[in-house]
Structure 1
């Protein structure tokens, strides 16, 4: 027998004793001066044993009937569907069932002791006992229903909590998958532009192409090492950008001028990897960069923000956007911190302000 079944049987036994005591206690409170209480002292041990046994059986029957009706109705008329109908029907069925139990108990007493003629006082006491038994049965039904509803509520709360946890877990998994997808966009965006330049250099100047390839490999090594990371230190990102600017000078010469002025404290903060490279590449892609109209990009920072500003000189007939630049950066910030970059465009400048994060 399992521990749970043993516990349930023990609880039922305790409840039978409670109902037995409760019936006689309420009967005493209803009529404490009844002569019947004194007559118990004159009963034989056998008669007392029979009455106690029958009363215990009555208590057990009241519990079983009351709880059985509640279980039966829960399958056919749950509390959530119609509480008032459920209350009236459950109370009515409980009262009717207990009436039958009391009639049956009376028949048993008649069989044991024979037909008896009761005085008016004894008849009144029998009706009082009858009323008390019905009230106790209603109480048992109410307590059982309250316990049942409490368990349902606890189960619902537990299930709701589990559902919230699973929802958060699934949300985190989805966000991580989205983040990995966003990171995978960085490779082709970066490599397409630089391999195009490298292919031209191989034909025009093989020596420069070799140095370009060496720097490209160092830059790409940084990307491989950090693309799986969610955040990198701004100082490391700036060191990567410094190496990346060699590739920019080979591709564009002095047509693109990048100035970096970031203090030591800001360099200890964090940003998503490859963010600055994307912003610089994005500025070059969408603006004219010539000897007469150089593109100037400035990178500065304060304690909480990184500012990337370029002079605005849009290309007359721009190529269709690949959607990897600002959208990629914004989505990664949204997933990692909830803080979003601020983008503003004036008459002469285009500004992207990135939040500096903490590890």
Structure 2
């Protein structure tokens, strides 16, 4: 328990006593009257002097205070020895019996002290009504003690519930933070998967160009630098605007034209009103590279790649299917990368299908 909790508990206990002791004092007389409204005590009250009534009130307030303190002390001790969570039935029986014994001992001690201070009380005889009044007094005190313990127990459970709710909320918050950290780490890992394959292909092309055409090699290197700079800048960005991605694709398309010439035809058809929407960075580049990797692209069989907005409002990348004959099965790493990034960034999912000789990847646009 920290210092703040300890201070709050002390403040609560102080005001708790200020409230509960007068309430117990009033409840004593209320319960006494309800238990036996025809007691001779009530009829004699109007004939007694104010000094007697005041003295009795002080003594009863003292008794109520002692009952309150002893009941709270015993309840706290039992919270340690016989906690409700482990032995509820044993705790209930033990606490009730303990309260009864405690009240009997307390009242006996109080009577001895009062006799020592004020002298023995006047003889009242052994008549039934008088004995009934004495037992009524003891019974009401026992009930008050049990009531105080019940209030303490209710407050105990309320505080435990409050603490458990705060702990659950803290654990939930920590779990959410850890999940967010894990998601960011996974997202960074997915982004880094793009670099090796992309750079290997383009450096191979650049190496060949240097030997054949230095001017074209310089232009290729300049566009490659722009593309790679874009990838580095956006490595830490989860979402970018479609406008930025399309500018990147323009530079990337130049690299593709140098590598494949007219064998690969890339067309974009994007309405102006959606270019401020979001998309995971380097997604279009990955889809274009994936289409080229798995399909024949030649003068006789050119590969047509089309980027457009479909009727459902999704950004769509399509290509004609003319797969390369290979014994090596596709790992589908690129498509899985895109799926995972969308899964981490939103509740929206990508849709991939093949129909009428075309392979389509439909990407939902994201909001910032």
With normalisation by structure 2, the TM-score equals 0.88
Q: Which residue of 1 aligns with 2:317?
A: 308
- The aligned residue for residue 276 of structure 2 is 268
Instruction: Kindly state the Cα deviation for residue 7 of structure 1 after the two structures are TM-superposed.
Output: 5.2
> For structure 1, which segment, 29-38 or 190-199, has the greater mean C-alpha deviation from structure 2 after superposition?
29-38
- Alpha-carbon contact 1:189-1:324 (below 8 Å) kept: no
Q: Distance in 2 between matches of 1:296 and 1:160?
A: 55
1:199-249 deviations in Å (ceiling 9; x for gaps) = 111122222211111111222232233332222221221222122111101
3-state secondary structure, aligned to 1:252: helix
Match of 1:284 in 2: 292
- Quick one: structure 1 residues 333 and 3, their matched pair in 2 at CA, closer, same or farther if it must change by over 3 Å? closer
Aligned pairs for 1:65-104 (under 5 A) are 65-104=70-109
Change (3 A) 1:294 1:81: same
Matches within 5 A, 1:54-73: 54-73=59-78
1:31 matched to which residue of 2?
36
Which residue number in structure 1 is paired with residue 201 of structure 2?
A: 193
Determine the C-alpha separation between the residues in 2 that align with 1:239 and 1:105. Answer: 93
Query: Where does residue 218 of structure 1 map in the other structure?
Result: 226
Change (3 A) 1:53 1:224: same
Moved more, 119-128 or 71-80: 71-80
* Separation (CA, whole Å) in 2 of partners of 1:208 and 1:10: 86
CA–CA separation in structure 1 for the residues paired with 2:134 and 2:229: 96
The change in CA–CA distance for 1:57 and 1:271 in structure 2 (over 3 A counts) is: same
Do structure 1's residue 164 and structure 2's residue 172 form an aligned pair? yes
Report if aligned partners of 1:312, 1:350 keep a CA contact under 8 Å in 2: yes
Cα drift, residue 253 of structure 1: 1.3
Q: 1:110 to 1:89 in 2, by over 3 A?
A: same
**TM-superposed deviation, 1:42:** 6.0
Partner deviation per Cα, 1:47-80 (whole Å, 9 max, x = no partner): 5555334322321222122222222222233222
Cα distance in 2, alignment partners of residues 26 and 279 from structure 1: 83
- Within-5 A mapping of 1:1-359: 5=10, 8-40=13-45, 48=53, 50-111=55-116, 112-114=118-120, 116-119=122-125, 120=127, 121-302=129-310, 304-317=313-326, 324-346=333-355, 348-359=357-368
Return the alpha-carbon distance in structure 2 between the equivalents of residues 176 and 284 of structure 1: 29
Shift of 1:347: 7.2
Q: Secondary structure at the match of 2:359?
A: strand
Structure 1 147/266 Cα, relative in aligned 2: closer, same or farther at 3 Å? same
Distance 2:359 2:335 in 1: 12
What is the CA distance between 1:279 and its match in structure 2?
0.4
The verdict on how the C-alpha distance between 1:213 and 1:6 changes in structure 2, with shifts beyond 3 A counting, is closer
Shift of 1:150: 1.1
After TM superposition, give the deviation of residue 40 of structure 1 in Å.
Answer: 4.8
**Post-superposition offset of 1:250:** 0.8
Unaligned runs of 5+ in 1: none
Secondary structure (helix, strand or coil) at the match of 2:236 reads coil
Partner SS for 1:316: coil
What's the TM-score once normalised by structure 1's chain length? 0.90
Partner SS state of residue 325, structure 1: helix
**Distance in 1 (alpha carbons) for counterparts of 2:313 and 2:96:** 67
